[in-house]
Amino acid sequence: MTGVAAPRPGDRVAVVAPSGPVDPAGLDAGVRWLRGLGLDVRLGAHVRDRHGFFAGDDAARAADLRDAWCDPEIAAVLCARGGYGAVRVLDHLDWTELAAARPKLLHGSSDITALHVAFGARLAVPTSFGPMVATLLADPDPVTAAATRTALLGEPSGVSGGRPLVPGRAAGPLTGGNLSLLASMLGTPYAPPPARGRIALLEDVGEEPYRVDRMLTQLLMSGWLDGVAGIALGSWTRCGDPDRLSAVLGERLGGLGAPVVAGLPVGHGAPQHTVRLGAAALLDAGSGTLTPADPGDPSEGGPCR
């Protein structure tokens, strides 16, 4: 997978809204925060649009994304917020044109999982899964602010604070993202490549335990999780009774023969860390961590014994 250079202070970055409509005050605050990092922030032409429950119609949202990705002066493309709608822009993109552009950092989370999956599979570039401009970055807590600064201007420093559901260590490229998006994209032309030999990140928001069970069962029955090296479970914000949810996660994922770490602060809520999808990672249930790994590590691609 082709590497991408992180932006540096003074570089120009673009903020686009591929999904839901953006809160103007949140957008302004998030842009100020980015400018405080020394970045030259430019807004997509349609980033303040509103079209039903989308930030502009499909073609407009796709045009902003295309213009930012193909502009050689743009060092990174940052998403304003999630919601719903990113999957609908995929058919409006010219993937040959995008592949011809210089690779750069794409940053966002939640609904932006649709773009992470498609950009990773079709453009073979790692992408940045973390808090977004008009939401958490509008008023970030100190941990989120420090972690995002490090990730945007360099490399993610790793995530700690998890707890083991299944013991062990695993190394491999990090894949996945928001569970609802991953499940909904199966069977489409943009389906996420199988997680075999990879560490799968899974997280969600506002989903009751029975719905989490249903989506995990879909991943299992489709074969998407066959041969997975490890599973990193992020935040499950407003996902019902924690004990029942923990039981679902353990029952559905505990028999895969791979280490599972729960409770990592990635996905929704605060604090929130950033991880690099498509990049080599190390999952350690003993220490409850998910950290960047040397892509040349001979243990990559499966559990570490």
Residues annotated catalytic, as ranges: 110, 203, 268
Residue with tokens 């999956």: 117
End-to-end CA distance of the chain: 26
3-state secondary structure of 86: helix
Q: What type of residue sits at position 202?
A: L
CA distances from 111 to 181, 217, 261 (A): 7, 20, 23
CA distances from 81 to 112, 120, 184, 241 (A): 8, 20, 19, 26
Residue with tokens 């690099």: 276
Distance between CA atoms of 120 and 1, rounded to whole angstroms?
8
Distance between CA atoms of 83 and 113, rounded to whole angstroms?
11
